[in-house]
Structure 1
């Protein structure tokens, strides 16, 4: 199934959002696989059906640079294990998604390289979408009701990067791609997902 397929075909596979129920959907995929665009399409479709949607972009919750660069670990390890506070997000995001309407979370600001608490309001009846990389890691996997994996070839994704980013291919090889390979080999996200969409 391609990304441009009728989005309603994908949404039909979701568990139904009943009154006073929250359904959690994961949109997993590696960098530049088209996740954000896909989420926007789902949002529009659900709005037409009058179903409230709450979106969490996992990159909004990364940690300060000092905690994920020059830590003494290999670059790929920093990206996979240290870019996010995995245990904090499990406790304060994933475990609380369905039992609260207000979720205070440490949110990252790239310009100031700081985190501050921002509260996300979640309606009682809601489709919750979590979008990002490495979503099916073992610490988070059990909190989704439905998982979509967007699969896109590495070189195709690389060419979607900015010219400035592409100029540092070594960083991709040592940091990003090595972490992606580790994720694919140890977690098997394509096999674990409910559906895989090629993009």
Structure 2
């Protein structure tokens, strides 16, 4: 299976972009599987072990990357049954998702945060980074989630600073195969790729 990552900050529009990409592939007669990182959160105790306000905890501890690789990425790549989720972060419980088997060739369109971490960067056949300024992404999240639209608000510190750690350590804009300026949802612009 061809593995496609759609990365970007919170509120970048990753899910919308990935959904549209999968729909386009399907319209062209290709098989596309849509899923994302939200089904691979760590337990709440792990996510907040460094403190509920910890940017480092947000960046390093939000997701169970081992489960992502073993339940989804490895088996899907070679055509074996795979699971698109193992955990529900809202209920803080494991989920029983029936394994899927998808005939190859197919594409997995996977969206999420931190997809260019060293543990994941070699998993993708194609990686896309949606480049959106924090001011725009936080305004989008405020419209979606009724959160504070100010990136500098204390409630956003964990997330903003966690993203900055990710940028400093992993440099997703440089590592991505394709970078798209997605500040204007109606007029995306390919910056590189």
Query: How high is the TM-score relative to the length of structure 2?
Result: 0.82
Instruction: Label 1:145 to 1:58 Cα distance change in 2 as closer, same or farther (>3 A).
Output: same
1:170 matched to 2:154: yes
Q: CA deviation at 1:110?
A: 4.3
Query: Higher strand share goes to which structure?
Result: 1
Kindly tell me the number of residue pairs found equivalent between the two proteins: 176
Q: Larger relative CO (CA 8 A, sep 6+): 1 or 2?
A: 1
What residue number does 1:150 align with?
Answer: 130
Instruction: Label 1:98 to 1:72 Cα distance change in 2 as closer, same or farther (>3 A).
Output: closer
Root mean square deviation of aligned Cα? 2.0
What residue number does 2:171 align with?
Answer: 188
Instruction: Label 1:186 to 1:84 Cα distance change in 2 as closer, same or farther (>3 A).
Output: same
1:76 matched to 2:55: yes
Q: CA deviation at 1:111?
A: 4.3
Which deviates the most, 133-142 or 98-107? 98-107
Q: CA deviation at 1:135?
A: 0.3
Q: Confirm or deny: 8 A CA contact 1:25 1:130 kept in the other structure.
A: yes
Q: Confirm or deny: 8 A CA contact 2:4 2:125 kept in the other structure.
A: yes
Q: CA deviation at 1:49?
A: 1.0
Which deviates the most, 32-41 or 121-130? 121-130
Q: CA deviation at 1:122?
A: 3.7
- 3-state SS, counterpart of residue 63 of structure 1: coil
The answer for unaligned runs of 5 or more in structure 2 is 183-193
1:128 matched to 2:108: yes
Q: Confirm or deny: 8 A CA contact 1:93 1:105 kept in the other structure.
A: yes
Matches of 2:178 and 2:60 in 1, distance apart? 25
Query: How high is the TM-score relative to the length of structure 1?
Result: 0.80
What residue number does 1:23 align with?
Answer: 2
The answer for unaligned runs of 5 or more in structure 1 is 1-21
- 3-state SS, counterpart of residue 181 of structure 1: helix
